[in-house]
Amino acid sequence: MLLRRLPRLHAALAATMLSALIALAPGSASAENKIAVVDVQQAVMQTEDGIRAQGTLKKLFDKRQKELDAKQEELQRAREDIERQARVLSREALARRMEDWQRRMVELQTSFVDYNKELQKKQGDLTGPILRKMMGIITRLAKKNGYELILDRSATPYARPDLDLTEQVVQMYNSGGDGGGGDAPAEGGGDKPSGGGDEKK
């Protein structure tokens, strides 16, 4: 019942992300199609903005978790107290105590749902702008370097490591979105930027 971990990217954002990742390069298709992958979830969280967003979300998460823990402990103590007095309370008094306890339990469950919705909304508010900027970077990278298709790595069962542009996209984002003007590595080798690029290590 308690919150256990920060939520992943909102489902609606994930759907937008996946459709937006399909970028066609300008001009006619070459004899050998250039395809690459980007782990968008990982890329968003590794950007400087993403790291700050995670810090903000963790503070909110910890605050809400503390509130839920306190309410749950209070209910546990109330339950134990009811059980201790069950033999001395009248049937009507016991029924009232149990009814009050059940009402508070429903309120706790409602708070849990509300807190999760709040976290999801906050995450969308914080990561949405990061995601939109990243989609622009990926699209420009695809057009500039002639990629026929760039897929979300999480949606592909297998991709060669040299096709992964995640690190390069993160570097481009953190440097302002232009990647320093360098070309992408041949055949999508995102882990080894070419010598002509100015991306930071």
Q: What is the pLDDT of residues 118-149, one digit of tens each?
A: 999 999 999 999 999 999 999 999 999 999 99
Percent of the chain with pLDDT over 90: 66
Task: Report the distance separating Cα 66 and Cα 95, nearest Å.
Answer: 30
**pTM of the complete model:** 0.67
Which of these, 42, 54, 68, lies nearest to 123 by C-alpha position? 54
| Residue type, position 200, single letter | K
With contact defined as beta carbons under 8 Å apart, do 9 and 131 qualify?
yes
Residue-wise pLDDT tens digits, 72-129: 999 999 999 999 998 888 999 999 999 999 999 999 999 999 999 999 999 999 999 9
| Residue type, position 114, single letter | D
Instruction: Read off φ and ψ for residue 119, nearest 5 degrees.
Output: -65, -40
Task: Report the distance separating Cα 52 and Cα 92, nearest Å.
Answer: 54
